[in-house]
């Protein structure tokens, strides 16, 4: 019962957060000195008084702030996120179009980060202060220090242009047709369609951007895994387990790892925000047609309906991820109870 009440409260918080985020972007859009008219109309049309007026009227740019915002909220309740000034399509349709690409990339990035981060962290903890530990710790510090965009360029230059190990930018090689749209995730859709050539190609395309996007989180996870595993290993019950003759491998996998997972989980939740930030950069280098690029282009064009849409989507993601993390806490640690 407790968890239901917790979820209810969390949901309420989500609604407030979403209203807050949309209001925040709206306030920014209202305060900015620059004019979306200038950003979106061509130079010739700007001199044309009628065109400018028509444009302002069309997008309701002359209405007072609160009216614009209330109209927006009302539309939002009816599932209408407005129309993008730049693409002239419904923002919701745009998001539906671009989100699967980002989702696929972020799932891949998170998987990469969790698998390698935990692996490195565990090895580091076992081989504490040995050479392996120092090297792996070095790798994870580089992971959190390296600029994503530069890493992306470097990987593309070496692994694609020079050595040809991985395919170049984009989600799929040009000679292949994307699989029939079911989930929008190319790899999943390809499996559903039974098209293994497309699956393999899409998976290869995911590798480089996935690594770039996940590197920062990998570094965080690896550090946290190491320190929390070391902490757990120094506890009494581990000494007991060792004393009664449990093999070291079993001590770590069965006794220690589960308990150190809790702090790792927190980092995964936190890392997700960073993942989305890195997404903007990685997507622009890899020509990945996702939300990150959409957000960047919208921001450049001061396309506020689109920006609010993206912001809401991202905030929602963030909340959902943290909620999943919180629920997993409960599963991992029976002592945690939500009120």
Partner 1 sequence: MKKIKYSLRSSSFVRMLRTNPLFAIGVAICAAWLVVMVFADLIAPCDPLLQDMAVRLQPPSAQHWFGTDSLGRDIFSRVLVGSRISIGAGIQCILIAAVVGMLIGGLSGYVGGILDDIIMRIGELFTSFPSIILAMVIASAMGASLFNTLLTMCIVWWPNYARVMRAMVIQVKSNEYVEASRSLGASRLRIFFKEILPNSIGSIIVLATVDFGNAILLFASLSYMGLGSPPPAPEWGAMVSNGAEQFSYWWVATFPGLAILSVSLGANFIGDGVRDYLDPKLRKTIS
Residue 65 binding partner 1, by CB under 8 A: no
Residue 170 binding partner 1, by CB under 8 A: no
Residue 24 binding partner 1, by CB under 8 A: yes
Q: CB-wise, 51 or 315, nearer to partner 1? A: 315
Q: CB-wise, 148 or 241, nearer to partner 1? A: 148
Residue 296 binding partner 1, by CB under 8 A: yes
Residue 318 binding partner 1, by CB under 8 A: yes
Residue 28 binding partner 1, by CB under 8 A: yes
| Burial letters 13-27, b for 16+ CB under 10 A, else e | ebeeebeebbeebbe
Least distance (Å) from partner 1 to the CB of residue 66?
Answer: 19
Least distance (Å) from partner 1 to the CB of residue 328?
Answer: 19
Applying CB under 8 A, which part among 104-112, 153-161, 176-184, 252-260 lies near partner 1? 153-161
Q: CB-wise, 63 or 231, nearer to partner 1? A: 231
Residue 263 binding partner 1, by CB under 8 A: no
Residue 73 binding partner 1, by CB under 8 A: no
Least distance (Å) from partner 1 to the CB of residue 106?
Answer: 11
Residue 12 binding partner 1, by CB under 8 A: no
Among the listed residues 40, 63, 87, 149, the single contact to partner 1 using CB under 8 A = 149
Give the footprint of partner 1 on this chain (CB under 8 A). 16-17, 20-21, 24-25, 28-29, 32-34, 137-138, 141-142, 144-150, 153-154, 156-157, 161, 273-274, 276-277, 279-281, 284-285, 295-296, 299-300, 302, 307, 310-311, 314-315, 318-319
């Amino acid at each position: 019962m407790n968890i239901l009440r917790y979820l209810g409260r969390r949901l309420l918080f989500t609604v407030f957060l979403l209203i807050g985020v949309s209001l925040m972007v709206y306030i920014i859009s209202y305060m900015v000195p620059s004019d979306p008219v200038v950003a979106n109309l061509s130079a010739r049309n700007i001199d044309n008084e009628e065109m400018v007026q028509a444009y302002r009227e069309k997008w309701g740019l002359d209405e007072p702030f609160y009216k614009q915002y209330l109209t927006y909220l009302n539309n939002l309740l009816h599932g209408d996120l407005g129309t993008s000034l730049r693409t002239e399509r419904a923002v919701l349709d745009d998001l539906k179009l671009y989100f699967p690409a980002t989702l696929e990339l972020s799932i891949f990035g998170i998987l990469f980060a969790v698998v390698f981060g935990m692996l490195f962290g565990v090895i580091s903890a076992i081989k504490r202060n040995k050479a392996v530990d120092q090297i792996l710790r070095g790798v994870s510090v580089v992971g959190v220090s390296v600029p994503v965009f530069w890493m992306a360029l470097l990987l593309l230059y070496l692994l694609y242009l020079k050595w040809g190990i991985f395919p170049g930018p984009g989600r799929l090689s040009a000679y292949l047709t994307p699989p029939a749209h079911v989930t929008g995730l190319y790899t999943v859709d390809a499996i559903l369609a039974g098209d293994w050539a497309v699956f393999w190609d899409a998976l290869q395309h995911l590798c480089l951007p996935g690594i770039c996007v996940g590197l920062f989180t990998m570094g965080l996870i690896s550090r946290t895994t190491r320190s929390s595993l070391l902490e757990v290993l120094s506890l009494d019950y581990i000494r007991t387990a060792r004393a009664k003759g449990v093999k070291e491998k079993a001590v770590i996998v069965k006794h220690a790892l589960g308990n150190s997972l809790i702090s790792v989980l927190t980092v995964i939740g936190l890392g997700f925000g960073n993942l989305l930030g890195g997404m903007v950069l990685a997507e622009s280098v890899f020509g990945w047609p996702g939300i990150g690029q959409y957000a960047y282009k919208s921001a450049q064009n001061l396309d506020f309906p689109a920006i609010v849409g993206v912001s809401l989507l991202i905030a929602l993601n963030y909340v959902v991820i943290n909620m999943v993390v919180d629920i997993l806490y409960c599963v991992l640690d029976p002592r945690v109870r939500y009120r």
